[in-house]
Amino acid sequence: MKKKDNKLVMWYKNKKPYSSYILFGIILSVLPILVELKALKYSYLTTIASILIYSIVGLGLNILLGYSGLISLGTAGFMGLGTYLSAYLTADLNLPFELALLISIAVPILVGILTGLVSLRIEGFYLAIATLAISEIFRKVFVEFEVVTNGFSGKKADYPTLLGFIELGRNGTFILIVAILVVIMIITYNLINSYTGRAFLTMRGSESAAKAMGINIYKYRLLSFAITVAYAGLGGVLYMHFVKYTYPDTWTLLLSLNILAAIVIGGIRSIPGTILGSFVVFGVPDLILKRLPIIGQFDGLAYIFNGVLIVLVVLFYPTGLIHVKEKFKRKNTKLQKEEGSYSE
């Protein structure tokens, strides 16, 4: 903090967190090797992959909730839309994976913008109601529109084939998910530190200031919702091609709420926080709780765990678990408040 800082220290302080994101990605990429070496169970890998996919979706929702101050309850619906589109396009129409990916993101964005056009004109919380309705409509469509969706039987798809000839297996797809997560972390960081990110935060903090400073609130609300929906669509595509199976009842309000819980528990307006939150909400029940003796047998244990955790976090760490460490540090060494702790 003092003037003694030399160039190296300054560089470290000013550097973007890209390198830590990439390091995180590299560490995760080692996991499939561990599975091959039998050091890690295959089921763990599946759970971790779904944590990473929900992290991507959660990062999108964090932009909407943490920055723009809007709530969407239809995250799961848009994710489901992504899965079905991608499955239909690759398995039934034999389109290349890349094209299916683009379409499966573009269509949710279009639907999202239409939803937003109607609901964002009025007060912000109408978006929550509209998205809740639209995701229920999606679920009904997944059930009824059997020609494309196979109804209750669910829909299958394969691991992705990149560029038409690189056929990915289970491990390859896992690494693809990791790579996409790292890219998403980086562009999310860029976005929230750009003028668009500041505009989002301004409309959440003070609508009057936003208007007076020339921020078109309607436009920026639409934009942030479109980004959220795009992340959800992307998450859906990755889910489809890793789990290889989609089923209408996966995409319920409960999943939307779980993703919301992940953000609140992990850390609102925090990229590592979102990932930590996804791990806690989607990982801990599967990886730890279920394996506990006796109490692991209870059916609703995950819900109780998440519920209690939300209450505790909101009470004691309203900015999320990611800030627990800082809070301890501050208490013990009375460090001055670090700048910008919310944005990384």
Interface residues with other proteins (CB under 8 A)?
187, 190-191, 194-196, 198-199, 201-202, 205-206, 208-217, 223, 269, 337, 339-340, 342
Q: Minimum Å distance from CB 103 to other proteins? A: 18
Burial level of 4, CB count in 10 A (0-12/13-18/19+)?
Answer: exposed
User: Is the four-CA dihedral 269, 275, 278, 280 of positive or negative sign?
Assistant: negative
Contact present, 25 and 179 (Cβ < 8 Å): yes
Residue (165 or 195) nearer to other proteins, CB: 195
At its nearest, how many Å lie between other proteins and the CB of residue 198? 5
Nearer to other proteins, 133 or 217 (CB): 217
Distances (CA, A) of 249 to 76, 98, 104, 138, 253: 10, 27, 20, 11, 10
Contact 262, 235 (CB under 8 A): no
Comparing CB distances to other proteins, the nearer of 43 and 194 is 194
Q: What is the DSSP letter of 246?
A: E
Return the closest-CA partner of residue 142 out of 65, 49, 248, 43.
Answer: 248
Least Å distance, CB 124 to other proteins, is 16
Q: Of the two residues 41 and 219, which places its CB atom closer to other proteins in the complex?
A: 219
Q: How far is the CB of 88 from other proteins (least distance, A)?
A: 27
Closest by alpha carbon to 322, among 42, 16, 66?
A: 66
Nearer to other proteins (CB atom), residue 140 or residue 211: 211
Q: How far is the CB of 323 from other proteins (least distance, A)?
A: 13
- Kindly state the smallest distance separating residue 126's Cβ from other proteins, in Å: 20
CA distance 285 to 145: 33
Comparing CB distances to other proteins, the nearer of 198 and 327 is 198
Give me the phi and psi of 256, to 5 degrees please.
-55, -45
